[in-house]
């Protein structure tokens, strides 16, 4: 089927099962799935819908898309905090991930400098710590003071022995070396208001009180000045230690927030939303929690993980359609609560866990194996190895975050190292970039200035889970200061390239500053991965970029099948 028919005519669409071009896809409902391990069973149904009968679009050739860029149509400044990450005391994220005393690349404090370098290269702005499920059973006091005196504890969330060799002070020093803002989570599972307010006093009060003087005695003369705080983690999830009903949690979060602010007025507080859009309490949870805590909090959290299952790659590739819908649902819920309270306060979203995660994958490190090998220190857990397909999907997640950058102002890819991560390490060995490293690093580097409100028309293809989904997914920014437009484009089609026409309004293209693409490597396939020795899934030049039009206001791009691209245009205002 020729692309022009797909793009131009509904008759063609009807005859080959493809849909007409559009910019928004439908959303189908949820269904359960078979469960296995105990932890995994408890997570069932967070983001794993299955729905309508599978109905493939017969796209065999070229996808077509058109994008209109108008310099006056913007959404606001790129919120830098959306390029966040997450370090949890889980598996090998901390131990042998960011921290490995004795490693050849470790600095004098035991921080792996190879991981620090890659963290900086990714352009990470903020890092959430110390969990995750881990935080709901954590005593922050265990992680401060002389290391030799710190207690070894059982971590029930991941069935692991926690040595506490790494704690708050180590994290703060690591964060400073990495150049990232800390985002600290408090334990609202087994602990409550007192431990929360004491942690804020320990961390942020200048001195002259027992807790702040203890920090100073422990080596940190200056207050840490941590601004961003998470009020617990996934408290709606039955798997969470100290899981609560929405009313119980809403009240606790409200009181913890109040007490924390009594110590430090300048905190920014994130209240737990749902652990996934398919949680049975999703929506009602947010409404009830905000009913209690609206006046005390600044952000509602969102978490979402996606994976390819049952060979349904079309739905997987369209996962960002679901992410868009999820974000818009939470924004609507927040605003409905605000409107009913006649409040003028605006609460934004902290999308503080998102990624591709193969929760159904079976292996020695899979979720179903948690707890099966006894109590050990930092076991290998969920060390997913990411493919080209995963990288394209991650690129579209970043597009979704940028498209909603007026309301999603914090986001953290979960996690940074080893645990479902863009960076992998071997103990005593190398650190390397996974495929998903690239869209994150390049989007963080190039998304500057204002987020563009793009008009996008793309061929659609049907998906089992999300209805008709655009084959070309895009986001963009315009930086008036540097005179640069950056476009981030994914071609979700496995069948062929996408021809994209970019029409610029109010701008003239001087030159194509850069055009790079991540796609299937030579001799590989969509499952190709990078390893420590072979970084075959990476960026190369995107060749097919031309500037046209008398006014140099049309750019044509050809995106390879299954690809993620970043294109930077030097522009002047007309
Ligand atoms: O990121 C892995 C885990 O996923 C986190 O600990 C938890 O918050 C979520 O369920």
Q: Which tens digit of pLDDT belongs to each residue from 255-292?
A: 999 999 999 999 999 999 999 999 999 999 999 999 99
Q: How confident is the model at residue 368 (pLDDT cuts 50, 70, 90)?
A: confident
Q: Is the pLDDT of residue 53 over 80?
A: no
Contacts of 273 (CB under 8 A, 6+ apart): 236, 285, 286, 289, 300, 301, 302, 303, 330, 349
CB-count exposure of residue 34 (10 Å: 0-12, 13-18, 19+): exposed
Residue minimizing CA distance to atom 2 of ligand 1:
132
Q: Are 227 and 266 in contact (CB under 8 A)?
A: yes
pLDDT per position as a tens digit, 327-343 = 999 999 999 999 999 99
Residue minimizing CA distance to atom 5 of ligand 1:
132
Q: Is the pLDDT of residue 24 over 90?
A: no
Extract the runs of DSSP E, i.e. beta strands, from 361-454: 376-377, 408-414, 423-425, 431-433, 450-452
For the Cβ of 133 lying below 6 angstroms from any atom of ligand 1, the answer is yes
**SS3 at position 448:** coil
Q: Are 475 and 454 in contact (CB under 8 A)?
A: yes
Q: Which of 91, 133, 157, 384 to mutate to test the pocket of ligand 1 (most atoms within 8 A of CB)?
A: 133
Q: Which residues are catalytic?
A: 234, 353
**Which residues, in sequence order, are bridge partners of residue 463?**
467
β pairing state of 554-559 and 545-548 = antiparallel
**Which residues, in sequence order, are bridge partners of residue 423?**
417, 433
Give me the helix-helix angle, 284-293 and 246-263, nearest 10°: 40
For the Cβ of 40 lying below 6 angstroms from any atom of ligand 1, the answer is no
Which H/E stretch holds residue 323? Answer: helix 319-340
Model pLDDT, residue 51: 33
Q: Are 434 and 416 in contact (CB under 8 A)?
A: no
Q: Is the pLDDT of residue 244 over 90?
A: yes
pLDDT per position as a tens digit, 65-122 = 999 999 999 999 999 999 999 999 999 999 999 999 999 999 999 999 999 999 999 9
Atom of ligand 1 nearest to the CA of 234: 8
Q: Which long-range contacts (CB under 8 A, 24 or more apart) does 113-118 make?
A: 114/425, 114/430, 114/431, 115/417, 115/423, 115/425, 115/431, 116/174, 116/177, 116/178, 118/423, 118/431, 118/433, 118/437
Model pLDDT, residue 369: 86
Q: Is the pLDDT of residue 23 over 60?
A: no
133 Cα to the center of ligand 1, angstroms: 6
Residue 400 to residue 470: CA distance in whole angstroms: 13
Model pLDDT, residue 465: 96
Model pLDDT, residue 60: 55
Q: Is the pLDDT of residue 8 over 50?
A: no
Distance in angstroms between the alpha carbons of the first and the last residue of the chain: 39
Q: Are 311 and 289 in contact (CB under 8 A)?
A: no
pLDDT per position as a tens digit, 117-163 = 999 999 999 999 999 999 999 999 999 999 999 999 999 999 999 99
Average pLDDT, integer, range 16-39: 33
Average pLDDT, integer, range 497-510: 98
Q: Which residues of 141-173 are buried (b: 16+ CB within 10 A; e: fewer)?
A: bbbbbebeebeebebebbbbebbbbbbbbbbbe
Atom of ligand 1 nearest to the CA of 414: 1
Backbone angles phi, psi at 238, to 5 degrees: -60, -20
Residue with tokens 């940028």: 402
pLDDT per position as a tens digit, 409-456 = 999 999 999 999 999 999 999 999 999 999 999 999 999 999 999 999
Lowest mean pLDDT among 31-45, 249-263, 278-292, 457-471: 31-45
For the Cβ of 135 lying below 6 angstroms from any atom of ligand 1, the answer is no
Contacts of 88 (CB under 8 A, 6+ apart): 94, 129, 130, 131, 132, 133, 134, 135, 414, 415, 419
Q: Is the pLDDT of residue 1 over 60?
A: no
Q: Is the pLDDT of residue 242 over 60?
A: yes
Residue with tokens 């890092």: 127
Q: Is the pLDDT of residue 570 over 80?
A: yes
Model pLDDT, residue 9: 27
Q: Is the pLDDT of residue 44 over 70?
A: no
Model pLDDT, residue 26: 30
Model pLDDT, residue 544: 87
Q: Which of 187, 414, 418, 419 to mutate to test the pocket of ligand 1 (most atoms within 8 A of CB)?
A: 414
How long, in residues, is the chain? 574
CA dist list (Å): 98 to 66, 157, 240: 43, 20, 25
354 Cα to the center of ligand 1, angstroms: 10
Q: Quick one: how far is CA 77 from the chain centroid?
A: 19
Residue minimizing CA distance to atom 6 of ligand 1:
132
Q: Are 143 and 166 in contact (CB under 8 A)?
A: yes
pLDDT, the chain, mean: 91
Residue with tokens 């996808």: 63
pLDDT per position as a tens digit, 296-306 = 999 999 999 99
Average pLDDT, integer, range 541-557: 95
**Which residues, in sequence order, are bridge partners of residue 270?**
230, 299
Residue 456 to residue 319: CA distance in whole angstroms: 18
Q: Which of 232, 353, 419 to mutate to test the pocket of ligand 1 (most atoms within 8 A of CB)?
A: 353
């Amino acid at each position: 089927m020729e692309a022009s028919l797909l793009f131009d005519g509904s008759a063609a669409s009807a005859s080959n099962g493809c849909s007409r071009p559009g910019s928004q896809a439908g959303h189908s409902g949820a269904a359960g799935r078979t469960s296995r391990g105990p932890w995994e069973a408890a997570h069932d149904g967070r983001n794993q819908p299955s729905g309508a009968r599978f109905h493939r679009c017969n796209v065999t050739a070229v996808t077509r898309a058109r994008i209109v860029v108008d310099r006056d149509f913007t959404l606001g400044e790129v919120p830098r905090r959306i390029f966040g990450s997450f370090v949890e005391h889980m598996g090998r994220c901390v131990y042998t991930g960011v921290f490995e005393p004795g490693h050849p690349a470790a600095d004098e404090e035991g921080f792996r400098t190879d991981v620090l370098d890659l963290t900086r290269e990714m352009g990470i702005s903020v890092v959430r710590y110390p969990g995750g499920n881990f935080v709901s059973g954590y005593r922050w006091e265990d992680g401060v003071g002389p290391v030799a005196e710190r207690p070894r504890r059982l971590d029930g969330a991941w069935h692991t022995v926690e040595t506490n060799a790494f704690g708050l002070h180590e994290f703060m020093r690591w964060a400073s070396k990495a150049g990232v803002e800390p985002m600290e989570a408090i334990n609202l599972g087994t602990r409550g208001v007192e431990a929360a307010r004491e942690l804020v006093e320990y961390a942020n009060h200048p001195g002259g009180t027992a807790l702040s003087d203890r920090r100073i005695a422990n080596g940190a003369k200056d207050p840490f000045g941590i601004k961003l705080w998470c009020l617990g983690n996934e408290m709606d999830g039955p798997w969470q230690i100290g899981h609560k009903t929405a009313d119980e949690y809403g009240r606790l979060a409200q009181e913890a927030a109040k007490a924390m602010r009594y110590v430090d007025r300048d905190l920014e507080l994130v209240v737990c939303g749902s652990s996934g859009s398919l949680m049975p309490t999703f929506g009602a949870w947010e409404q009830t929690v905000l009913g209690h805590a609206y006046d005390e909090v600044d952000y509602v959290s969102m978490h979402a993980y996606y994976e390819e299952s049952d060979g349904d790659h079309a739905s997987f590739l369209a996962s960002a359609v679901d992410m868009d819908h999820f974000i818009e649902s939470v924004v609507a819920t927040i605003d409905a609560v605000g409107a009913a309270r006649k409040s003028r306060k605006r609460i934004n979203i902290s999308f503080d866990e998102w990624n591709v995660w193969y929760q159904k994958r079976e292996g020695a490190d899979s979720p179903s194996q948690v707890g099966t090998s006894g109590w050990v220190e930092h076991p290998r857990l969920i060390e997913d190895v990411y493919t080209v397909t995963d990288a394209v999907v991650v690129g579209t997640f970043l597009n979704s975050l940028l498209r909603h950058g007026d309301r999603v102002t914090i986001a953290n890819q979960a996690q940074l190292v080893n645990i479902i991560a863009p960076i992998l390490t071997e103990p005593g060995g190398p650190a390397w970039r996974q495929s998903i490293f690239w869209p994150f690093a390049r989007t963080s580097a190039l998304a500057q200035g204002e987020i563009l409100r793009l008009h996008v028309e793309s061929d659609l293809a049907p998906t089992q889970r999300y209805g008709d989904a655009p084959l070309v997914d895009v986001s963009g920014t315009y930086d008036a200061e540097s005179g640069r437009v950056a476009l981030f484009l994914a071609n979700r089609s496995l069948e062929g390239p996408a021809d994209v026409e970019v029409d610029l309004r109010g701008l003239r293209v001087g030159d194509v500053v850069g055009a790079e693409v991540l796609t299937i490597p030579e001799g590989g396939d969509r499952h190709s991965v990078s390893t420590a020795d072979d970084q075959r899934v990476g960026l190369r030049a995107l060749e097919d970029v031309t500037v046209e039009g008398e006014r140099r206001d049309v750019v044509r791009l050809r995106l390879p099948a299954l690809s993620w691209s970043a294109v930077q245009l030097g522009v002047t205002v007309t």
